[in-house]
Amino acid sequence: MKLLSIYGLVVMLIFAGLVAPSKLSSANLTDVRDTLQSSRLSYHARVDSTGTSVGSSNVRILTSTGLDSASNQANSISTSALKAGDSLIIGTGTYTVVGISDANNFTVTPVLLAGDADNTDPIYFRSRPRHVVTFETTTAVANGFFQILLPADTANRNDGLPDDSGYDFNTAVDVVASDVGVYNFVTGVATAAGATGCTAPANYHCFSVHYSGAGSIGQAISITIGNTNGTNTPIAPSTSTSHTEGTADTYPVLVKNFGALANPNTDSPVDSSTVRVAHIESVRVTATVEPTISFSIAGVSTATSTCGATPDINTATSVNAPLSVPFGSLTLNTFRDASHELTVSTNAHSGYVVTAAENDQLSIGGLGVTTIPDTTCDSGPCTTSSNQNWATATNNGFGYSIDNIGAASVPFEYNDSGTFQARPFPILGSEQTIFSSTTVADAENIYICYRISVGATQPAGDYENQITYTATGTF
């Protein structure tokens, strides 16, 4: 019986780590496909010692192909195929890519060691995608085995480093097939090209799974080569000598079904098919998020409870709202309360700090001569950095408290060991933090609660000062 062979092409393009294989229809074994976990090529470049030095984190690559210092062909000539987080071998050391500077330079951690920054030292990234080979049987072959062949380089094909014309065997490979129908599989066997039992065809690695059972026609079979974490997995080829960036390098994958006791090096398979897989550079997607911070002051109505009570003043509808606190006419030895809501959002990676300070004590005409003193609280003295309870209105003065709504951190709150814990505002130049965060923040907020009380000896007049709030992001 003459066997026909139709060659199919599977082109798998990777974007954001996703692979979408095309379905194949092949002669003999049908619906054959090799679905790669990733179609990303391996990477093999060379160090350019101009711009690369021991103790530095910068690596510059040569922009021409050629032999590296170990006399292996290197064909990667730009950084476009690398990404932050890649683990590389440079010279003989292992490094992690921190960032891509331009087409010829990238940075790594740790800094380069002696022996890893010389001209033409190799730079390797090993792409180790799992292969899932699936197909349907055409002939009922009893107690036989399936063999999958992956192309290998002619030299250095089992040294754990990428090769430019095939897969590196990578020392050991796991091969697994799951029992299905009348096929009962034993543990698969992986053999590097040229080793015993894997000499024909030349320059192919061999992956075999034997089974017991009568075999059947039209049975779907799935064989897995390697693992998703890259252990015991063949290393994908690096760019070939004829490679063009953005155009895939394709490789044949041979799938065969042999009868019992067949010698795969000399005997013909009962059924077989050849498909091709394509490897291409990953697409490095970049975007810039500009540093941002927003800060707002909002008025609070008398219907909103803040710091354990409802405010006496509506700062949401007052004149010049929300940037005013119009206490109005004060009744002697009686508290008057008002509030603002302060809100911060920022993408600063180390968060933000909001501080407060007054330009002076409340004074007639804001001239700083005749003043309403800052509060010293009840048991006193409270200070700009130490709060005390302030529940007695005959202890006159002006101060504030905090009611945390959604801030990551505040220095104190109104209900910390008292009915109204308070502090005086600090003077400009001695600002105090009123809320903060050490990470990014989305609409973190507090109520700032103002309180005032005056006694019978307070001179008549119109008093004012200015409170300055400053929000600072740590980018």
Domain spanning 43-125, CATH class: mainly beta
Between strands 105-109 and 14-15, the pairing is unpaired
- β-sheet bridge partners, residue 404: 446
Q: Cβ–Cβ contacts within 10 Å for residue 179, how many?
A: 12
- Per-residue pLDDT, averaged over 94-120, amounts to 97
What are 215-258's pLDDT values in tens digits? Answer: 999 999 999 999 999 999 999 999 999 999 889 999 999 999 99
CATH architecture of 14-40+128-279: Sandwich (2.60)
**Closest among 356, 352, 342, 470 to 408, alpha carbons compared:** 352
Q: What is the pLDDT of residue 266?
A: 95
* Cα–Cα distance measured from residue 280 to residue 302, given in angstroms and rounded to the nearest whole number: 65
What are 249-265's pLDDT values in tens digits? Answer: 999 999 999 999 999 99
Res. 287 pLDDT band, cuts 50 70 90:
confident
* Cα–Cα distance measured from residue 413 to residue 339, given in angstroms and rounded to the nearest whole number: 14
Q: What is the pLDDT of residue 3?
A: 32
Cα angle vertex 412, ends 411, 413, to 5°?
145
What are 22-70's pLDDT values in tens digits? Answer: 333 335 899 999 999 999 999 999 999 999 999 999 999 999 999 999 9
* Cα–Cα distance measured from residue 428 to residue 21, given in angstroms and rounded to the nearest whole number: 66
Q: Check whether 158 has a pLDDT greater than 60.
A: yes
Report the Cα–Cα distance between both ends of the chain, in Å, rounded.
Answer: 73
Contact by Cβ (8 Å): 475, 349: yes
- The model carries a pTM of 0.67
Res. 281 pLDDT band, cuts 50 70 90:
confident
**Residue ranges per structural domain of the chain:** 14-40+128-279, 43-125, 293-473
Burial class (CB in 10 A: 0-12, 13-18, 19+), 52: buried
- Per-residue pLDDT, averaged over 75-85, amounts to 94
Q: Cβ–Cβ contacts within 10 Å for residue 177, how many?
A: 23
Q: Check whether 270 has a pLDDT greater than 50.
A: yes
